[in-house]
Structure 1
Amino acid sequence: MITITRWEQWEGWAAEGCWTMLPCAVKMKSDSRLPGDWAQAWNTARPYSFVLESGKDGRYTFLGLEPLSVIRGKGTVAQIEDTSTGHIEQVEGRPLDVLHEWLKPFKSPAVPGLPKFSGGGVGYLSYDVARSLERLPVMAEDDLQIDDYIWMRMEELWVFDHELEEVYAIVHCPVGKEQSAMSLAQAFERAKRRASLMLDRWNEIIHEAKHGTIAEKTRVRQMSLAAREVSSAEWDRLLERSASVSFAQDDFEAAVRRVQEYIAAGDVFQVNLSLRRGLPLTVSPEEIYEWLRLLNPSPYMGLLRFPDFQLVSVSPELLVKLEQGKMATRPIAGTRRRGATPEEDEAMAQELLSSEKERAEHIMLVDLLRNDLGRVSKFGSVRASELMVIEYYSHVMHLVSQVEGLLDEGKTPFDVIAAVFPGGTITGAPKVRTMEIIEELEPVARGPYTGAMGWIDYNGNMELNIIIRTLVVKDGVGHIQVGAGIVIDSVPYREYRECHNKARAITMAVGLSQEFAAEGQRQGMKL
């Protein structure tokens, strides 16, 4: 074990008098492979816990099992729970204001050499948080009845570094301005012991994952089963056969035509229209997440676990990142399915790049995001650092750009969220009018879908992805919501098919996880 945080640093930070918490971090070498599953972690976790991972060239995995405080709210009413005592306090206000006040008392210095996130808030914002930012009608049915936001404040965190094959255990310890040198030294030693015990617990998680009920042999079987060739038609049949749907195909295509009428009338340029399917589940969200990690590694993978529901996400899209005053957003607009051969794959990519419809839609949304970031950026700092590049995923490819800016003086992470939320790529342009049309045409409230999830740290940095390619698991049903960007020359049937393509990876993960579990039960019965 290597102690990263030195006593001399703690003394120096305490002398500065501006921090309410001090970090203590230790690290050790760890197996180059993460657990094939997180079962042992979840078995010892509190009802609120999470894992956040980066699947495509990502360096870090973040794991939190015991938040110190949880805030959850709907509308203007929220509850803050101290998880150590069970005490609950009710507060009122706009969601972003409430969250700002909740995190504001906690300040911690940055430790050189630590991963980008080492402690703070982890959670999500539902699409309906936008109602606190804009005046919107309420027409769609709120069938899921899920909180508008839930955030967990973490004082203990594990971080696995894939590049260096190291695991960090990070503890944040509260400190007072008048704390004596002896008291501070004792707090430092306690924090080191806590961090050391966390490394022991990590080793137990790794050991159980390798030698427990889901061992390496099972992992191999899992991979071989997942790697089999499954036709698109077969997964389409699975989707149609096993799913309830919020938007029947005829109704969805009629809604596409209604959007085109609004576009022709000059109300909007583009609207993202979505539909939701509900898949009955016979396996846990944790098992489905493991399959998604295997089948569709994505830039923003994560599992948020709450007592009453879970979010299983393999999102490809960044909403906004803020790091040391530098902001970035990475819009995705334009989709094609993956080809069956390398030649077909290349042909699909060239078709996407040369499509006037896709390019026009993409540029329009890049401009929208430039304007959004401009509201909180230093004058003249907003620019597109990447424009219309292809990114590939397991079942689809996307047209992607990156827009950057420098945070203006006096602005906070919550000002940035208010400026860009919800993401323009999953509403349309102009944003407010498209949200009004979405409310009119979509039969059910979006809930978490097209909201945001991720982290905000104690230093004012954050990284939030858009909640797409995400399964909302509640009461034994997995809800998949997917959308398509509708423009004047959209073909209604093709837009409906695009929604199918975007849902396929999650549908496959659900189908394979349930098939695999059933096979295991059959094998057990034979034994």
Structure 2
Amino acid sequence: MMMELKLYLKSLEGDTKTPITLFKNYVGKEKGFLLESRDEGKGRYSFIARNPFAELQGKGEGIIIREGSQVTIKQGNIMEAVRAYMSKFTVKNHSSIPFIGGGVGTVGYDIVRQFEKLPSPNKDTIQVPDVHLMFAKEMIAYDHFHQQIFIMVLEEDTEDGEKRAESKMKLIEEAIKKDEPLEPSAEFIPSFRNLTSNMTKEEYMQKVEKAKVYIKEGDIFQVVLSKRWILETDEDAFNLYRKLRRVNPSPYLFYLNFGEYQVAGSSPEMLVELRKDKVYTCPIAGTRKRGKDEKEDEILAEDLLSDEKECAEHVMLVDLARNDMGRIAEVDTVKVTEFMKVHYYSHVMHLVSLVEGIKKKEEDAFSVLQSFLPAGTLSGAPKIRAMEIIDELEEEKRGIYGGAVGYFGFDGDMDMCIAIRTMVAKDGKVYMQAGAGIVADSDPEKENEECENKVKALLMAVE
């Protein structure tokens, strides 16, 4: 049965609040999410919700949908189950706020096995769902430009629906007016023990050499080989997120508390975004560490732009993004609107491009996402053979790493970043992962160093 929903809005002055204080006072330690950004374009709104009205988890072909006390268990294709569940709701977004409710969460790297013929031989160390979404009909949006808070409730467009919405908005307003003090994140001294990796430097370098053999034999042009770091900690995951967002501000910042585990990240890279009919993807490939000052940054940026290996790798991945876009976009609408520009982040600089297209009428958010998973910048090219080699060399399932984090909106829009620079906190451990793109002339030591540079911001959040 289709549920038609209306957006009910209430605005409050927000100049004394921040997304962090709103989350702490409204959500606390309950299930919920915080989506933020430190990007000039994306950074206008932050989104906060607690106690989702529904959750969908999928692993392999097993699917669990929880709505309050009702639990539905089924078998099948996970993304089809998400599409079917979300098709029960329809809502028109007449506001300028880009996200007004829907499913927020993770779509892991291994979901690709549902639509590509790939073996699944590796051990699943972290044991989290392939897809995990929290569905929100009550949310807070924080407008950074105007320092306003919007309380958003989706309810039926009836008198009773309006009364329920007003009651819910009143409860949310009371919750966010609490003003409990927060310890500054700079003062955190997280306790962590036993930092280990699933590969030594020597093991990683040996695997790079194996990957180069596959490249020379013509199996692939490139493969992204990653390694994982694990540490033990008793620290609250939200505190780690607070420190991470400070030491590594990024276009995509997120904290997801699923109850049994938490995901905190500061991803620099869009996977794919759908706004009405327009589709965007933003391949990032080519890396240098940041300099000590602006002058050294300029020298390193020039070195990056003149590096034939890095530029060739970037061009290949832009072509792969155009190919992914071409599968779901109308003919002649695929365009590269920004090409190989240097973007600066807290610890590294990257080469970045932007590819756009207009989706075909028969495509939707789910088929669009499927076309781009996994990102070429996290697999290699050609994708399928690269993923087979990743399975062989990495020996553990990636889980969330290399997949996507973001939302599917009830209005049909979607925004997903790549799950990199991301921590998964579960059972007293924090898992972090980083990779490097291996090509024919890769230097194994430099590729290992690139992984270590990328994970540095995450390690700073736990130091």
Fold shared by both chains (TM-score > 0.5): yes
Q: Which residue of 1 aligns with 2:36?
A: 53
Contact 1:126 1:451 in 2 (8 A): yes
Match of 2:136 among 129, 154, 171: 154
1:101 and 2:101 matched = no
1:97 is matched by which residue type in structure 2? E
Between the aligned partners of 1:66 and 1:333, the Cα distance in structure 2 is: 37
Deviations 1:447-472 (A, max 9, x none): 00011010111111010000000001
**Which residue in 2 is equivalent to 1:11?**
none
Give 1:139 deviation, angstroms. Answer: 2.5
Query: What is the RMSD computed on CA atoms of the aligned residues?
Result: 1.9
2:394 pairs with 1:442 = yes
Matched, 1:312 2:264: yes
Confirm or deny: 8 A CA contact 2:156 2:162 kept in the other structure: no
Number of aligned residue pairs: 459
Partner of 1:292: 244
Deviations 1:424-461 (A, max 9, x none): 11000110110000001002110000110101111110
**Is 1:91 the counterpart of 2:77 in the alignment?**
no
How far the C-alpha of 1:224 sits from its partner, in A, is 7.7
Distance 2:160 2:437 in 1: 57
Matched, 1:26 2:10: yes
Return the offset for 1:203: 2.0
1:367 CA drift (Å): 0.4
Question: Matched residues in 1 for 2:155 and 2:416: separation?
Answer: 25
Deviation at 1:495, TM superposition (A): 0.4
Structure 1 residue 248 corresponds to structure 2 residue 200: yes
> Which residue among 319, 322, 341 is the counterpart of 1:367?
319
When the two structures are superposed, what TM-score results if normalisation uses the length of structure 2?
0.95
Partner Cα separation in structure 1 for residue 422 and residue 124 of structure 2: 18
Residue 18 (structure 1) shift: 8.4
Contact 2:2/2:89 (<8 A) preserved: no
**Distance of 2:161 and 2:7 partners within structure 1:** 11
Residues 176-200 of structure 1: per-residue CA shift (max 9 Å, x gap): xxxxxxxx22322331232233223
Q: Provide structure 1 residue ranges, at least 5 long, that are not aligned to the other structure.
A: 1-16, 176-183, 227-237, 512-527
Deviations 1:77-112 (CA, angstroms, capped at 9, x unpaired): 1111112xx111112211211111111110001123
Cα distance, 1:23 vs structure 2: 1.3
Matches within 5 A, 1:278-427: 278-427=230-379
Among 70, 74, 77, which residue is 2:59 paired with?
74
Contact 2:282 2:354 in 1 (8 A): yes
Correspondent of 1:191 among 161, 165, 177: 165
Q: Is the Cα–Cα contact under 8 Å of residues 19 and 109 in structure 1 kept in the other structure?
A: no
Please identify which structure carries the higher helix content: 1
Given the two structures, how large is their TM-score scaled by the length of structure 1?
0.84
- In the alignment, residue 54 of structure 1 is paired with which amino acid? S
- Tell me the alpha carbon deviations over residues 141-161 of structure 1, each in whole angstroms, 9 at most, x when there is no partner: 211111111111111010000
Native 8 Å contact 2:25 2:175 kept in 1: no
Query: What are the Cα deviations for residues 162-186 of structure 1, in whole angstroms up to 9, with x where unaligned?
Result: 00110111111135xxxxxxxx223
**1:406–1:36 distance in 2 versus 1, CA, 3 Å:** closer
The answer to whether the 8 A contact 1:92-1:98 is kept is no
Structure number having the greater strand percentage: 2
Deviation of the 1:277 alpha carbon = 0.6
Structure with higher Rg: it is 1
Relative to structure 1, is the Cα distance of residues 383 and 476 closer, same or farther in structure 2, using a 3 angstrom cutoff? same
Distance 1:168 1:225 in 2: 30
- Contact 2:225–2:436 (Cα < 8 Å) also in 1: yes
1:55 Cα deviation from its structure 2 partner: 1.8
CA distance in 2: counterparts of 1:28 and 1:415, whole angstroms: 37
Q: 1:398 & 1:41 partners in 2: Cα distance?
A: 36
Quote the offset at 1:372 in angstroms: 0.6
The amino acid across from 2:7 in the alignment is P
Deviation at 1:36, TM superposition (A): 5.1
What is the aligned counterpart of 2:26 among 31, 36, 41? Answer: 41
- The runs of at least 4 consecutive aligned structure 1 residues that moved more than 2 Å come to 35-43, 222-226
Cα deviation, residue 140, structure 1: 2.0
Identity of aligned residues (%): 37
| 1:192-271 matched pairs, under 5 angstroms | 192-204=166-178, 207-208=179-180, 212=181, 214=182, 218-219=183-184, 222-223=185-186, 242-271=194-223
Instruction: Classify the secondary structure of the residue corresponding to 1:194.
Output: helix
Cα distance in 2 for residues equivalent to 1:190 and 1:155? 12
1:307–1:365: structure 2 CA closer, same or farther, 3 Å change rule? Answer: same
Judge conservation of contact 2:286–2:314 (CA < 8 Å) in 1: yes
